[in-house]
Amino acid sequence: MRVWFAVVGLSLLALRPSAAQTPSEAYQKGCANCHRSESAVLRRIPGRDDAGRRAWIEAFMAQHPCERDDLKELIVEYLLERSRP
Ligand code: HEC
């Protein structure tokens, strides 16, 4: 029984890196081909509270290219986190 749990646990751990992307990887994949440096991007985000910055980022990204549409939600999280004052 213990062995069985260990095997299931290990295979879940092994699956995680490929399934889950970190917010930083999401930015690299969706934006970094055009924005190698993120500092210019972060400077443009108006520094209000989280809700205000999130609204600005989402409105901006809605009309801006992104190379990975499936990662947009994570990219918003990344920019929100990195632009926190
Ligand atoms: C296909 C290339 C391309 C991709 C992909 C791209 N951008 Fe841009 N982005 C540009 C260009 C070109 C400009 C400059 C536009 C200008 O200055 O008129 C720009 C400008 C910006 C600006 C304004 C600040 C500045 O540097 O002028 C922000 C913020 C921004 N991009 C965020 C993002 C984010 C976030 C992503 C990923 C979701 C992203 N971009 C993906 C090409 C791209």
Write out pLDDT tens, residues 28-51: 999 999 999 999 999 999 988 999
**Whole-structure pTM value:** 0.82
Q: Whose CA is nearest to atom 42 of ligand 1?
A: 34
Sign of CA dihedral 68, 70, 76, 78: negative
Q: Is the pLDDT of residue 18 over 50?
A: no
Instruction: Report the atom number in ligand 1 closest to the C-alpha of 68.
Output: 38
Pair of tokens at residue 47: 């520094």
Instruction: Report the atom number in ligand 1 closest to the C-alpha of 40.
Output: 26
Q: Is the pLDDT of residue 17 over 50?
A: no
Q: Whose CA is nearest to atom 29 of ligand 1?
A: 41
Q: What is the rounded CA–CA span in Å between residue 50 and residue 48?
A: 7
Q: What percent of the chain has pLDDT over 90?
A: 72
Among 2-16, 20-34, 51-65, the minimum mean pLDDT is found in 2-16
